[in-house]
Structure 1
């Protein structure tokens, strides 16, 4: 199976993902994997069929250049493509050890969190305020409208508001919204400070 991946590297690709085809594992696993990969395609705009196969071949310079930590190995082809490397996939046979059922709900929850990570890394890693600021603004507006409603409710003597859960919820949303906007601003300041050190491209050749 590795031979097919290596052949694609020799043809000019920088990273080749293994595409498990046909899939022979549990039907629910296949369905979740298809949905996950479809969402990854939509978010990253990269045409890969099996991002989470775990089987890939890559040039040494790709592995040295693309930052990796935690569970980011799943997103290696996406991060490599963002830096200008040529990424593709190749069909491989599925390993026998993968024909098992997923036993834990946490596996599926982790995949949802992985999708959020991909969205952030591919679209907002250089502009965190756009991501956190939008969510924070929605929270703050909803919380502010709740508190404004209660303000007029009290002013026009419709009744007391001190013990109403809506007051606590409105205040909580307002505080969370302001905090998220603040975190986004801090992120923008950090990126601005280190902008010269961050490269989203790779120089393959300098022509003189």
Structure 2
């Protein structure tokens, strides 16, 4: 069964290593034509995807586009200030993923990711009253394929917004569980 490949991620992984398409093909044992086809949006066979993932030392999921309603979930912690928390993550060996916004940063260790956002950053897109009770809390940041469909699962949509980064998001809650749903096009 053909698998939808995240062509942007495939190109990015190849480029950040400084590899040509020919080099990736030789390293993975698939043809150069297959690499070209996949980078242009073609579908992969299980064996081609397995070979590419192994070559990059990534999971197969990292190179695919899911057709599931939930793409991924990342813990998000809202903090009064990022500096001390970011230092703790660095001391534990997490790498920093810059977002080009000083109020939001990602940290990663292996295949684990975490978002750290300042209160001020969150208030840039959400009402202060909605964010205030979440400061110091960690909530799921859930990438979904349809914001409307995902919102129906929650008791209450607190606030919907198109963020200053252009992402459609909704702050939702059910009882004492909060989450931010973020719509992705799957690319």
Q: Which has the higher helix share?
A: 1
Q: Which has the higher strand share?
A: 2
Instruction: Please state which band the TM-score falls in when normalised by the shorter chain.
Output: under 0.3
With CA pairs under 8 Å and 6+ residues apart, which has the higher RCO, 1 or 2? 1
What TM-score do you get using the length of structure 1 for normalisation?
0.20
What TM-score do you get using the length of structure 2 for normalisation?
0.21
